[in-house]
Amino acid sequence: QSALTQPASVSGSPGQSIAISCTGTSSDVGGYNYVSWYQQHPGKAPKLMIYGVSNRPSGVSNRFSGSKSGDTASLTISGLQAEDEADYYCSSYTSSSTLVFGGGTKLTVL
């Protein structure tokens, strides 16, 4: 199972909005609504930011939102803040009854 495809890096200025894409196939992203997004700061464990494509866990800012179209899911962060600078990973359930992660995207807040 190949990793989902994410851009290696994205950047934005404080207050701006950015989007991170996560491209898979009909056997994973396109076939199931089990796409999640995780934020990871250096030296820390990942933190769940979005689950079920577009659901936010309690306590996660509403500046984070998720969506999906076909085989590509997206995480959008609006009103960028310095604390959003981190690595972001998508994940999806697959038709092989396994889970696959994206390669990760480094977000830089300029």
Partner 1 sequence: QVQLVQSGAEVKKPGASVKVSCKASGYTFTSYDINWVRQATGQGLEWMGWMNPNSGNTGFAQKFQGRVTMTRSTSISTAYMELSSLTSEDTAVYYCAREPLGIGIQEFDYWGQGTQVTVSP
Residues that bind partner 1 in the complex, under the rule CB under 8 A: 1, 3, 32, 34, 36, 38, 40, 45-48, 51-52, 57, 89, 91, 93, 96-104
If the CB atoms of residues 19 and 34 are measured against partner 1, the closer one turns out to be 34
Take residue 40 and report the two structure tokens written for it.
């990871």
If the CB atoms of residues 19 and 60 are measured against partner 1, the closer one turns out to be 60
If the CB atoms of residues 35 and 77 are measured against partner 1, the closer one turns out to be 35
CA–CA distance, 6 with 19 (Å, rounded to integer)? 11
Taking Cα atoms as reference points, which of 44, 38, 47 lies closest to residue 20? 38
- Report in angstroms how near the CB of residue 107 gets to partner 1 at its nearest: 14
- Which contacts qualify for 61-68: CB closer than 8 Å, 24 or more apart? 64/37, 66/35, 66/37, 68/29, 68/33, 68/35
If the CB atoms of residues 71 and 93 are measured against partner 1, the closer one turns out to be 93
- Report in angstroms how near the CB of residue 46 gets to partner 1 at its nearest: 6
* Amino acid identity, position 82: A
Take residue 53 and report the two structure tokens written for it.
């494509």
- Report in angstroms how near the CB of residue 13 gets to partner 1 at its nearest: 26
- Report in angstroms how near the CB of residue 62 gets to partner 1 at its nearest: 18
